[in-house]
Amino acid sequence: MSDINELVQRYLAAWNETDAAARQAVLAEVLADDAVYTDPLVSVRGRDGLDATIAAVQGRFGGLVFSLGGAVDAHHDIARFTWHLGPEGAEPVAVGFDVVVIGDDGRIGQVLGFLDKVPAGV
């Protein structure tokens, strides 16, 4: 996948995909086999770990969707972007900021996540 904006959009699509098989297919497309995902609440390695994390987030925040909160900023093999989680077209209940490192194969090898706004109790 050559376009970083498209890569980030597909990555966010994985977070919105509720069908497990379809989500795993998207993750295989955008994420390296041994990718590492780290945010303040979880740190996992590999697509299975991220898939389980996404499923848990969907279980907790069912019906909400992830969307880009602005433009993707990228240089070399690094991109950063803000994401929103909330009802489609409404005020987000959570806002975060991710930095992704893209491997030589064009897939994401590392995600470093930060949470800027989270619901109480998370």
**Is residue 66 within 8 Å of residue 83, measured between CB atoms?**
yes
- Mark 72-91 as b/e (b = at least 16 C-beta within 10 Å): bebeeeebbbbbbbbeeeee
Mean pLDDT across the chain: 95
Band of the pLDDT at 120, cuts 50, 70, 90?
Answer: confident
Q: What is the pTM of this model?
A: 0.94
| pLDDT at 1 exceeding the cut of 70 | no
